[in-house]
Structure 1
Amino acid sequence: MTAVPRRRMVPAYLATGGRTRPGTAGFERLTVLHTTGAEPPQALQELEGEHRRLWELLRPGALTVVEAAAHLRLPVSATVFLAADLVELGCLRARAPIPRAQQTDRSIVERLLVGLRTLR
């Protein structure tokens, strides 16, 4: 017999508190989140369980918003709201995703290869 996944008792959209925009702008799906300290801040005690779950998930290290949403089994949009709340309170820090590397000019690589071969 296979285990049936437990269904959430509270709908995920309630984590946003009825808001349509997070307080902190600039969050993307690949924004990296990490905690600001080892001990939970006092402000965290006043927040809902979802906020605490997110903070505890990030305590050992850093995750992107998408990864945190998957672990919490919440929509990414709801996780953005939770993360924005915690960033505003100073419980989390958010870092922009690392930009994609630009392609290297092939002629530079070829000249480097020729230079390395002449060193023999």
Structure 2
Amino acid sequence: MRRQPLEGPWLDGEAGRLVRPYTVSNGRTKPSAQFDLLTLVMATGDRPHSYLGPDHTHVLKLCGGPVSVAELAAQIAQPAVVTKVLLSDLAACGAIISRAPVPAPRGDDPTDRDLLEAVLDGLRRRL
């Protein structure tokens, strides 16, 4: 996947982000809500009552449809913990909703040998 050129007041095409991650999260390193990297988030359509900042606005725009926390972190070029802090702020004001990942249904034998061999064969063909 090709990245878009960095633009905007806090970005420089050659230097990258001009603002440190801890500044984006106001020095916070622990989100107030529980998010897994596979948690899906989506905008509710409700806007925060007060302006949270440009990074919050950017994240909210990316949440038009269900998107994982990992994908958001990649899109905003921030560490996952910073992304989780931003999402916690948005969840607290009702701007987003989240859903934990749904585990895949398992058959009688979670270590299905046929499935594992098929995956191994596929990997060998690719490598």
TM-score of the aligned structures, taking structure 2 as reference length: 0.69
Corresponding residue to 1:23 among 29, 32, 39 = 32
Q: CA deviation at 1:99?
A: 1.2
Instruction: Give the CA RMSD over aligned residues.
Output: 1.9
What is the count of residue pairs matched by the alignment? 98
Aligned with residue 20 of structure 2, among 2, 8, 11: 11
* Identical columns (%): 32
Gaps of at least 5 residues in structure 2 are: 6-12, 110-127
C-alpha offsets along residues 67-94 of structure 1, whole Å, 9 cap, x if unaligned?
0111111111110000111001000001
5+ residue gaps, structure 1: 106-120
CA–CA separation in structure 2 for the residues paired with 1:70 and 1:56: 14
1:64 corresponding residue in structure 2: 68
Asked if the contact 2:31/2:84 (under 8 Å) is kept, the reply is yes
Matches of 2:78 and 2:41, distance apart in 1? 16
Higher helix share: 1
Q: Which of the two has higher C-alpha Rg?
A: 1
Matches within 5 A, 1:80-91: 80-91=84-95
Q: Which has the higher contact order (CA 8 A, sep 6+)?
A: 1
